[in-house]
């Protein structure tokens, strides 16, 4: 593992770890209020698996992970952070593909870079399920997030992880929870503790508000990102993976992103998982990462022929 120096056009320095040395590169991008550690737990590392398959893996931390900024939005991630990482990685490799979790997948399909493939893991076009939208929760969160952003407040993701740490015994026991992050029993104790302690981070309230706008506007815009247009323009091969028991990104909301993408080569896979265990749960290797590798091999083989 080595550190890669990446500076965006607006002068922000991004933390990027490079693993392996293959000709084909993969950029891994986490979701909202998470960081690059979301892709590895003590018992399983998706990064290590991908390296053993011959890929060079770049694990990205988007800006603001340590609470140093409260003013960035989703467009900043798409047009500054994703663009800067791609522009540094691309000259070094034969191909570059993007694997994003949740918001990270949305960034990948919106990035407008010549990627060989995009893998979107639990990435909803319209965050939250219909029940929450009817209750106008997205509208309330959107207004509150804009207000807090205007006051330079940081979205304290690590504090939310602390709540889940306190409730994890009850959640694993199957007690009702409105937005389950993982399928009960899908993590070993050490792995879940690692994820909740190390993989959550600060973020920007503008980012949360932008994602709420996807639900409020039928998936057309996320703040300054015209996501609907970019999906209709997308020609990159696309794999969308949804968790059947995901309370953050229900399978139908992930399928909405899949359906709107114009990509001539695209696949949809639904697995028995929640939101964060699609990455590192007990069955993530077999259910998720082996199909991801197979899809990437298919795409790369087709582009080489």
What pLDDT is attached to residue 154?
A: 80
Question: What confidence score (pLDDT) does residue 131 get?
Answer: 47
CB neighbourhood size of 38 (10 A): 24
pLDDT tens for 85-138 read 999 999 999 999 999 999 999 999 999 999 999 999 999 987 544 445 544 566
- The Cα 255–Cα 6 span in angstroms is 33
The alpha carbon of residue 77 and the mean position of all alpha carbons in its chain are separated, in whole angstroms, by 12
How much is the pLDDT for 136? 54
pLDDT at 135: 47
What whole-number distance in Å separates Cα of residue 273 and Cα of residue 172? 13
pTM of this prediction? 0.93
Given 3-state DSSP classes, what are the helix, strand and coil percentages for the chain, each rounded to the nearest 5? 45, 20, 35
What digits encode the pLDDT tens for the residues 45-86? 999 999 999 999 999 999 988 777 768 899 999 999 999 999
Could you tell me the fold of the domain covering 2-304? Rossmann fold (3.40.50)
Every domain of the chain and the residues it spans: 2-304
- Please state, for a pLDDT cut of 90, what percent of the chain lies above it: 64
| 3-class DSSP assignment, residue 156 | coil
Predicted confidence at residue 220, as pLDDT, reads 92
115 vs 97: CA distance, rounded Å? 5
Overall average pLDDT of the 216-228 stretch: 91
With beta carbons less than 8 A apart as the criterion, state whether 81 and 62 touch: yes
Q: How many residues does the chain have?
A: 305
Tell me how far apart the alpha carbons of residues 144 and 122 are, in angstroms, rounded to a whole number: 25
Nearest Cα neighbor of 222 from 116, 278, 142 is: 142
The first and second tokens of residue 205, run together, are 């309230």
Residue 128: name the closest of 78, 180, 171, 174 by CA. 180
**pLDDT for the residue 130:** 47
Which residues are bridge partners to 267 per DSSP? 239
């Amino acid at each position: 593992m080595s550190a890669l120096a990446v500076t965006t056009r607006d002068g922000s320095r991004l933390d990027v770890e490079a693993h392996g040395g293959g000709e084909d590169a993969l950029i891994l991008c986490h979701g909202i209020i998470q960081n690059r550690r979301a892709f590895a737990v003590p018992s399983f590392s998706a990064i290590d698996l991908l390296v053993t398959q011959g890929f060079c893996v770049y694990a990205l931390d988007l800006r603001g992970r340590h609470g140093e900024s409260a003013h960035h939005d989703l467009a900043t991630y798409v047009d500054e952070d994703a663009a800067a990482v791609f522009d540094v990685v691309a000259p070094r490799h034969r191909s570059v593909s993007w694997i994003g979790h949740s918001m990270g997948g949305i960034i990948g399909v919106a990035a407008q870079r010549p990627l060989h493939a995009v893998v979107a893991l639990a990435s909803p076009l319209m965050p939250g399920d219909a029940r929450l939208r009817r209750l106008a929760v997205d509208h309330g969160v959107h207004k509150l997030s804009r207000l807090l952003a205007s006051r330079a407040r940081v979205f304290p993701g690590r504090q939310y992880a602390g709540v889940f740490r306190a409730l994890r015994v009850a959640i694993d026991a199957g007690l009702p929870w409105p937005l389950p992050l993982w399928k009960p029993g899908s993590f070993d104790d050490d792995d879940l503790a690692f994820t909740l302690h190390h993989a959550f981070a600060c973020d920007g309230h503008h980012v949360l508000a932008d994602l709420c706008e996807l639900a409020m506007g039928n998936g057309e815009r996320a703040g300054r990102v015209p996501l609907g247009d970019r999906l209709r323009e997308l020609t990159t091969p696309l794999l969308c993976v949804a968790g059947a028991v995901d309370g953050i990104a229900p399978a139908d909301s992930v399928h909405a992103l899949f359906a709107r993408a114009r990509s001539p080569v695209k696949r949809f896979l639904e697995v028995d998982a929640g939101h964060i265990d699609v990455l590192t749960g007990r069955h993530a290797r077999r259910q998720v990462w082996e199909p991801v590798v197979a899809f990437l091999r298919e795409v790369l083989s087709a582009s080489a022929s």
